[in-house]
Copies of this chain bind each other. A is one copy, B any other.
Amino acid sequence: MPQTTIDVLGIGNAIVDILVETDDAFLTSVGAVKGAMSLVSAEHQRALYNKVGAAVEISGGSAANTLAGIAMLGGRAAFIGKVKDDQLGDVFGHDLRAVGVAFDTRAAAQGAPTATCLVLITPDGQRTMQTALGACIELSPDDLDLSVIAAAQVTYLEGYLWDPPAARAAFHVAAEAAHLAGRKISLSLSDPFCVDRHRAGFRDFIENHVDILFTNEAEILSLYETDDFDRAVAAIQPRVAVAALTRSEKGSVVVTPGEIFAVDATPVDSVVDTTGAGDGYAAGFLHAYTKDRPLHECAKLGGVVAAAVIERIGARPPTDIAARAGAL
C-alpha cells in the first residue's frame, strides 16, 4: 500500500457563519428550534437576517472546522466542499488555506451563492443555526479527486452532507474509493435532527462503510431511537471499529467491538460558546489517531481541543492550539 500523503481529508458543507446576538423571544417569534441546525430557504434566511442586529462573519462548516483544527495541530489536512466563486467563497477558501488545509474544489461559477449559516446566539450561550445550503447543493461525485481520497489515511465525512442529495451520492463514492485503497472512513452524525432526517441512510452507511464514528449523546439516542445511553452503546458496539461518543462535561466514551471506556473531559475555565466543540473533539481525536496513538490518547486530545474551542467565541480552535495540545 503506498504511503499516505494526507492524514485526514474532510468532505463537508462549505459554509460562512453569520453570528448575531438575539434572545429567546426572537427564536419563539420566528419559530426557530433552539439549539438545532435547521435548513432554511435563502428567502427565509434573508427575512431573518433583516430582523436581527449587526453581525460578524466567520468561516464555518462542521467538517471544515475539524480539518482546520487538524492542520493547526500539525496534521496534513485537505478539504473538499463547494463554494461559489463569490466574496464569501473567497473568505471560506482563504480561512482554510491560511491554516494549512489543502482546498482545491472548483468553485461554482453559476447558481446559488456560497452557503451561509445564520447563527442566533442567545444570552445562555446556546446557538440556533439557520442554514441556507446555497452552492453546497452543487457538490457531486464529480468533485471528488479519487487520488486524494486514496492518499488520505482517513476520509472524514460530516453527517450534514446527507442533506444535499448529490453530496450523499459523493459519500458513497468516497467510501468505496477509500476502502479500495485500504484507507479509513470516518463519519460525524452532526446533529440529532439531521439523524432524524436520514436515520435509515445513516444506519446503513455506518454498518457498511464507517470505521470511526463521532456522535454526541443526543445523536446516538436519535440514531437508535432510544432514551437509554447504554442501549445505544450496545447497538453501536458491533457495528463500527471505533465509536467516540461525546457527553459534554462528562467527557467521552470510546466504544470498540472489544472494549468500552470513558475518558474525562478537559476542565474548562469558563464555557463561552459551545459551538464547534464536537468538531474540535474530532480534530484532536483524528490527529492523534493518524499518529498511531492509542484510543484513550485520541479521546484525551479530542477533549483538549474541544475545551479550547469552548473557551472562546467561534467554532475553530485558537491559534495557540498546537502548543496547548503538546507534541504528538
Contacts and interface: CB of A to CB of B under 8 A. Distances in A.
B56 A58 contact: yes
Interface stretch (A28-36, A88-96, A165-173, A277-285): A88-96
* Category for how many chain A residues contact B: 20 to 34
Contacts of A113: 87
B94 A55 contact: yes
Contact of A95 (B54, B58, B68, B91): B54
Contacts of A68: 54
Contacts of A99: 53-54
Contacts of A316: 54
A50 interface: yes
Interface string A194-232: 000000000000000000000000000000000000000
A303 to B, nearest CB: 23
Contacts of A50: 94
Copies in the complex: 2
A58 B57 contact: yes
Contacts of A94: 49-50, 54-55
Contact of A54 (B49, B54, B59): B59
Contacts of A56: 56-58, 314
Contact of A98 (B52, B98, B114, B319): B52
Most chain B CB neighbours (cut-off 10 Å) among A94, A96, A316: A94
A99 B56 CA distance: 14
A203 to B, nearest CB: 35
Interface in A4-26: 21
Contacts of A314: 56
Interface in A43-93: 49-50, 52-59, 68, 86-88, 91
A120 to B, nearest CB: 13
A57 B52 CA distance: 17
Interface string A127-143: 00000000000000000
A92 B58 CA distance: 15
A59 B68 CA distance: 24
A58 B17 CA distance: 12
Contacts of A91: 55, 57
Contacts of A59: 54
Most chain B CB neighbours (cut-off 10 Å) among A21, A68, A98: A98
A137 B297 CA distance: 55
Contacts of A114: 87
Interface of A: 21, 49-50, 52-59, 68, 86-88, 91, 94-96, 98-99, 113-114, 314, 316, 319
**Top 3 closest pairs, chain A to chain B, by CB:** A57-B57, A54-B95, A87-B87
Given A50-B94, A55-B91, 16 more contacts: A49-B94, A53-B98, A53-B319, A54-B96, A55-B94, A55-B95, A56-B57, A56-B58, A57-B57, A57-B58, A86-B86, A86-B87, A87-B87, A87-B88, A87-B113, A87-B114
21 contacts: A21-B319, A49-B94, A53-B98, A53-B319, A54-B59, A54-B68, A54-B94, A54-B95, A54-B96, A54-B98, A54-B99, A54-B316, A55-B91, A55-B98, A56-B56, A56-B57, A57-B57, A57-B91, A86-B86, A87-B88, A87-B113
